């Protein structure tokens, strides 16, 4: 990283975190240990070379380390203290900057990935259940999120489980992004028909309890209320 040559903590922080992608890598490591390819998947557009260089740089600074398991990476003690930094940056942008998503930002894979990273661990179905995301609009497509008490996993093909364990979530990607970011609620989007749930009634009823949505949704809601 280019330095500033200033003996100032703000300049130091900018040197450490100011490289392109670095802050987003830290953000994605805040959820716990994560592998190289999983990081790459969550950062569309990053090249493998850059991701590799960033991780090595963060390791050299002592902010990222190998987990005891030896696979993937995790934040070190000092790195975990970046939680506050990421939260404050995100809260600021959620309050003052963020608008509706642009067309280019409507990445359905990323959305489902993020949704799958924000699950209510204690509310998940005791028996495997499948949320089938079906997006309408310009580029229709499907994704399946398989949930069990241990968490969720994303499939690009129908996992082919018991049909009674499916719930279908249909709508435009933009509508689901709004729900995720706290610009609207699932209930609102359902009542306006932007998002439709179908499938097993018990699962339709339970689905809203599974997702906790974006960490910044409360701030977005507070900003909208102000």
Token code pair at residue 158: 């129908």
- Contact with DNA (CB under 7 A): which of 15, 19, 107, 109? 19
| Residue 162 CA to its chain's centroid (Å) | 28
Place of tokens 């390819």: 37
For residue 210, state whether it binds DNA (rule: CB under 7 A).
no
Q: Between residues 129 and 179, which has the closer beta carbon with respect to a copy of itself?
A: 179
For strand 129-135 and strand 64-65, is the pairing parallel, antiparallel, or unpaired?
A: unpaired
Given DNA, a copy of itself, none, residue 177, with its beta carbon under 5 to 8 Å by kind, binds a copy of itself
Number of Cβ within 10 Å of residue 135's Cβ equals 22
Q: Among DNA, a copy of itself, none, what binds residue 49 when CB lies within 5 to 8 Å by partner kind? A: DNA
Q: Per CB under 7 A, does 72 bind DNA? A: yes
Phi-psi region of 43 (alpha: psi -120 to 50; beta: other; left: phi over 0): beta
Nearer to a copy of itself, 114 or 168 (CB): 114
Q: State both tokens at 67.
A: 């987990």
Of 23-31, 51-59, 131-139, 143-151, the window that binds a copy of itself (rule: CB under 8 A) is 23-31
Distance CA 218, CA 212 (A): 11
109 is an interface residue for DNA by CB under 7 A: no
Question: Using the 8-state DSSP alphabet, how is residue 164 labeled?
Answer: G
Of the candidates 198, 199, 182, the residue with the CA atom closest to the CA atom of residue 190: 198
> What string marks each residue from 83 to 102 as x (binds a copy of itself by CB under 8 A) or -?
-xxx-xxxxxxxxxxx--xx
Q: How far apart are CA 35 and CA 58, in angstroms?
A: 15
Tokens of 1: 């990283």
Out of 52, 81, 137, 192, point to the residue binding a copy of itself (CB under 8 A). Answer: 81
Residues in touch with DNA (CB under 7 A): 2, 19-21, 35-38, 45-50, 52, 55-56, 71-73
Binding site for a copy of itself (CB under 8 A): 2-14, 16-18, 20, 23-24, 27, 44-45, 61, 78, 81-82, 84-86, 88-98, 101-102, 104-107, 110, 114, 177, 181, 214, 216, 219-220
């Amino acid at each position: 990283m280019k330095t500033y040559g200033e003996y100032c903590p703000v300049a130091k922080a900018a040197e450490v975190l100011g490289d392109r992608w670095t802050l987003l890598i830290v953000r994605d490591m805040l959820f716990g240990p994560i592998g190289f390819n999983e990081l790459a998947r969550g950062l569309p557009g990053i090249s493998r070379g850059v991701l590799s260089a960033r991780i090595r740089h963060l390791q050299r600074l002592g902010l990222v380390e190998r987990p005891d398991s030896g696979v993937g990476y995790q934040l070190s003690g000092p790195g975990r203290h970046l939680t506050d930094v990421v939260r404050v940056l995100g809260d600021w942008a959620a309050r003052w900057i963020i608008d509706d998503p642009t067309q280019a930002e409507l990445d359905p894979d990323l959305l489902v990935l993020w949704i799958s990273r924000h699950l209510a661990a204690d509310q998940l179905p005791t028996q495997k259940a499948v949320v089938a995301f079906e997006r309408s609009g310009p580029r229709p497509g499907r994704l399946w999120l398989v949930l069990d008490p241990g968490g969720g996993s994303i499939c690009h093909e129908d996992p082919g489980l018991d049909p009674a364990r499916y719930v279908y979530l249909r709508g435009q990607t933009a509508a689901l992004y709004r729900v995720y970011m706290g610009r609207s609620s699932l209930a609102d989007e359902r009542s306006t028909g932007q998002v439709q749930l179908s499938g097993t009634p018990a699962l339709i009823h339970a689905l809203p309890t599974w997702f906790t949505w974006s960490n910044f949704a409360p701030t977005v809601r507070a900003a909208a209320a102000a």
